[in-house]
């Protein structure tokens, strides 16, 4: 019985520490902060520094690849970055339309959908779903994690709508009358 109570006490303290950690106020972020925010949520870091010195590329357990990028970095106002741009990017294939990309902005206003003809590599058209967090006066780690969770929940739905897949699959395009 004593072992069970000791184990429960240790687990309770660990849970409180994790919760307290989510209450820490971040007024700027560095690479270590972004790494922590991503890994604490159980995501796997693929690379760092691909989109600037303060950036992380990661993968969810479901396989969705996303980017967390520090912005407004090393200014006279802060030692780190004053904003965080969270992105899920998809290679455009010509089946997307600007109308559906704009519809996504109305359907899920917590994020921004966009199209870039040149993409990030300068040659591959890209569709992105983005959530931006401004750290003026601070944001808790928990709030930043919730923003990331919102992005990672919305992006696959938005992509399904943009490419008319999943629940948005247009059956008229899928079934043919020629048999």
CATH domain 22-169 topology: Yope Regulator; Chain: A, (3.30.1460)
More confident residue, 138 or 9: 138
95: pLDDT strictly greater than 90: yes
pTM above 0.85, yes or no: no
pLDDT tens per residue across span 107-156:
999 999 999 999 888 899 999 999 999 999 999 999 999 999 999 999 99
The full set of domain ranges for the chain reads 22-169
Beta-carbon count within 10 A of 160 CB: 14
Lowest mean pLDDT among 26-30, 73-77, 108-112: 73-77
Q: What is the pLDDT of residue 74?
A: 84
Q: What is the pLDDT of residue 31?
A: 97
10: pLDDT strictly greater than 80: no
List own/partner pairs for 102-107 with CB under 8 A and 24 or more apart: 103/161, 104/129, 104/158, 104/161, 104/162, 107/158, 107/161
pLDDT tens per residue across span 148-178:
999 999 999 999 999 999 988 875 554 455 5
**What does the block give as tokens for 11?**
């687990």
CA distances to 25, 30, 53 from 82, rounded to whole Å, are 13, 9, 14
């Amino acid at each position: 019985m004593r072992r069970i109570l000791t184990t429960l006490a240790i687990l309770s303290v660990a849970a409180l520490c994790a919760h307290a950690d989510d209450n820490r106020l971040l007024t700027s972020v560095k690479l270590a902060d972004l790494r922590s925010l991503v890994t604490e949520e159980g995501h796997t870091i693929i690379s760092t520094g691909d989109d600037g010195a303060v950036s992380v590329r990661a993968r969810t357990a479901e396989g969705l690849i996303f980017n967390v990028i520090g912005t407004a970095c090393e200014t006279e106002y802060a030692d780190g970055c004053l904003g965080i741009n969270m992105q899920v990017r998809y290679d455009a294939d010509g089946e997307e339309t600007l109308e559906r990309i704009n519809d996504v902005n109305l359907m899920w206003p917590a994020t921004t959908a966009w199209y870039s003809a040149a993409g990030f590599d300068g040659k591959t058209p890209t569709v992105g779903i983005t959530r931006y967090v401004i750290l003026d006066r601070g944001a808790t780690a928990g709030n930043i994690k919730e923003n990331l969770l919102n992005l990672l929940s919305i992006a696959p739905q938005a992509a399904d709508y943009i490419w008319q897949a999943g629940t948005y699959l247009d059956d008229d395009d899928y079934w043919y009358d020629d048999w």
